[in-house]
Amino acid sequence: MAEITDMMKDLAESAAKKADVTYKVTRLRFRRSALAKLLDSQYKELGREVYKMCRQDGGDAEEIEAMAVQIERTHRRIDAIGQQIERVLEIVRCPVCGRVAKIKNPRCAYCGTQLAATEAEPEENETDFITSGEEIQL
Ligand SMILES: [Zn+2]
């Protein structure tokens, strides 16, 4: 009887963990897609400014540089979210073939490259996460 109870407890725990992972990943993907939209609008703005400059109709080189810096920043934030998603899903990307592998696997299943022993990285502080999210202007 005790075995069945333990089994049911394990099942419940694993279901709860899956639900938690799904929730976290959904949130991160939502955040990432908001950032992708932001990035599109930043590129559009940059394009307009460059166009003006090409047509000698204004366009400010300093402004263009500042926009490029913003774009780089958005790219970095998108990459960081991608890494967070991989952490939540407990996957890593093989440094050689780029395929996805489970963190616990010692080697890539496709090319056999030894995967770095990934130590559990501390999850990003929830407060920081929310604060950085609030910077998104849509
Ligand atoms: Zn590989």
pLDDT tens for 35-55 read 999 999 999 999 999 999 999
1: pLDDT confidence band, cut at 50, 70 and 90? low
Does pLDDT of 138 surpass 90?
no
Q: Are residues 98 and 79 in the same domain?
A: no
Q: What is the mean pLDDT of the chain?
A: 85
What CATH code is carried by the domain that includes residue 76?
1.20.5
Find the 113 Cα to ligand 1 centroid distance in Å.
Answer: 5
Q: Are residues 45 and 100 in the same domain?
A: no
Find the 107 Cα to ligand 1 centroid distance in Å.
Answer: 8
| Domain range for 100 | 91-121
Find the 102 Cα to ligand 1 centroid distance in Å.
Answer: 12
What integer is the mean pLDDT of 85-102? 91
Residue 131 domain-assigned?
Answer: no
Q: Are residues 85 and 98 in the same domain?
A: no
pLDDT at position 2 is 76
Find the 110 Cα to ligand 1 centroid distance in Å.
Answer: 5
Q: Are residues 57 and 110 in the same domain?
A: no
The whole-model pTM stands at: 0.70
Does pLDDT of 105 surpass 70?
yes
What integer is the mean pLDDT of 63-72? 96
7: pLDDT confidence band, cut at 50, 70 and 90? very high
Find the 74 Cα to ligand 1 centroid distance in Å.
Answer: 28
pLDDT tens for 18-37 read 999 999 999 999 999 999 99
pLDDT at position 59 is 79
- How far apart CA 45 and CA 102 sit, in angstroms, is 40
